[in-house]
Amino acid sequence: MTSNESVRSNSLLAPHAALLAVQLIFGTWPIIGKIALRSLPSTGLVAFRVVGAGIAFALLGRAMRLAKIERRSDYWRLALYSLLGVVLNQFLFVKGLALSTVINATLLGTVIPVFTLIVSVFAGRERLSFHKLLGILLAIAGVIYLVNPTRADLQGGTGLGNFLLILNAAAYAAYIALSQDLVQRYGALTVISWMFAFGSVATLPIGGFYLAQTPLQDVSLFVWSAVLYIILVPTVAAYYLNAWALERVAPSTVAAYIYLQPLIAFALAPLVLGEKPSAHTWAAAALIFAGVAVVTWSSRVRKPLAEKVSECPDAL
């Protein structure tokens, strides 16, 4: 293999290695989050996570000199992406996690690629084929079977938690589907830093209100260690790596890696939290995985040439 071929191979593998690392990280975060939620309110944990990450990204940005935002309209777009990818994503997920289970949280997160496709179709970036429609219907059937809306209690408990987790998946999918252009123009660190800056403004007052009513002096060192891990690893590291990969591969590819997360949660949740997937959960997982697989395969097979070149810039 020549040196040029070696560089090309590494440039192709690096985004996929980053995405694999992101899923390994995100797969562990609900488990650590459940531990932190034993002592902290969900809104308070969100405030710690977003503001802590915002400070970390601000320090990184100062050291690495962020790109200058060229258009005023881009600030509005950054605020929108912050609302979708940080504020709603964090509040809905953490509150849903508090009311539901780790296994349900990660399983429902696998519909993000399907929601990403739906948003892309409405935005005119992808066309809806028969195979994509089939995949969407399969995944939605799995979600409906898992949630079972005929028996769901939306006043509290697991039913409400599952519903919030579905809304979280939709918000994060919209962020992935819409943000690639800005990420490619300004770079991952600039976009993520601004997103968490906007997100801190929104989450600090709400989280601070509930934290003021929490006896923080009673929180154990173990829980504070979990909070620190949540800020640095599943937030700073994972968000940056995800955005860095989004600069180099298509949104559908970024979203497709998400269905690795339940495999991690299914393996670790029984060991750490005592949660065990039921036959009902496995059946829903099979439907969701089948739907995601059909959507992902269809997107890759029918990917337009321009998108393939964007994933492999050295191919021409």
How many Å apart are CA 236 and CA 261, to the nearest integer? 18
Mean pLDDT of 181-191: 88
Decide if pLDDT at 2 tops 80: no
100, 161 Cβ separation under 8 angstroms: yes
Q: Between 291 and 194, where is the model more confident?
A: 194
Q: What is the helix (H) or strand (E) element at residue 198, kind and residue range? A: helix 188-211
Q: Say how many Å lie between the first and final Cα of the chain, rounded.
A: 18
270, 276 Cβ separation under 8 angstroms: yes
Q: List the single range of 113-117, 150-154, 155-159, 212-216 with lowest mean pLDDT.
A: 150-154
How many Å apart are CA 198 and CA 200, to the nearest integer? 6
Q: List the single range of 99-103, 127-131, 312-316 with lowest mean pLDDT.
A: 312-316
* Residue-level pLDDT at 41: 92
pTM, to two decimals? 0.72
Model pLDDT for residues 199-236, shown as the tens digit of each residue: 999 999 999 999 999 999 999 999 999 999 999 999 89
Q: Is residue 252 part of a domain?
A: yes
Mean pLDDT of 177-190: 87
* Residue-level pLDDT at 66: 83
Q: Is residue 29 part of a domain?
A: yes
219, 48 Cβ separation under 8 angstroms: no
77, 191 Cβ separation under 8 angstroms: no
How many Å apart are CA 187 and CA 82, to the nearest integer? 15
Look up tokens 């496709």; give the residue.
117
How many Å apart are CA 68 and CA 70, to the nearest integer? 6
Q: How many other CB atoms are found less than 10 A from the CB of residue 213?
A: 8
94, 88 Cβ separation under 8 angstroms: no
Q: Is residue 237 part of a domain?
A: yes
Q: Which two tokens stand for residue 315?
A: 């191919």
DSSP letter assigned to residue 216: G
Model pLDDT for residues 240-289, shown as the tens digit of each residue: 888 888 788 777 677 667 766 666 666 665 655 565 666 766 776 677 66
Q: Is residue 27 part of a domain?
A: yes
Number of H helices, E strands in the chain: 15, 0
172, 89 Cβ separation under 8 angstroms: yes
Q: Between 140 and 274, where is the model more confident?
A: 140
DSSP letter assigned to residue 258: G
Q: Is residue 146 part of a domain?
A: no
Burial code of 2-27, b = ≥16 C-beta within 10 A, e = fewer?
eeeeeebeeebeebeebbebbbebbb
CA of residue 135 relative to chain centroid, distance = 20
Mean pLDDT of 160-165: 87
Q: Is residue 99 part of a domain?
A: yes
169, 292 Cβ separation under 8 angstroms: no
Q: Is residue 128 part of a domain?
A: no
Q: Domain count of the chain?
A: 1
Q: Is residue 205 part of a domain?
A: yes
SS3 at position 304:
coil
% of the chain with per-residue pLDDT over 90? 30
How many Å apart are CA 86 and CA 196, to the nearest integer? 7
Decide if pLDDT at 75 tops 90: yes
123, 176 Cβ separation under 8 angstroms: no
How many Å apart are CA 137 and CA 291, to the nearest integer? 7
Range of the domain at 257: 16-111+153-272
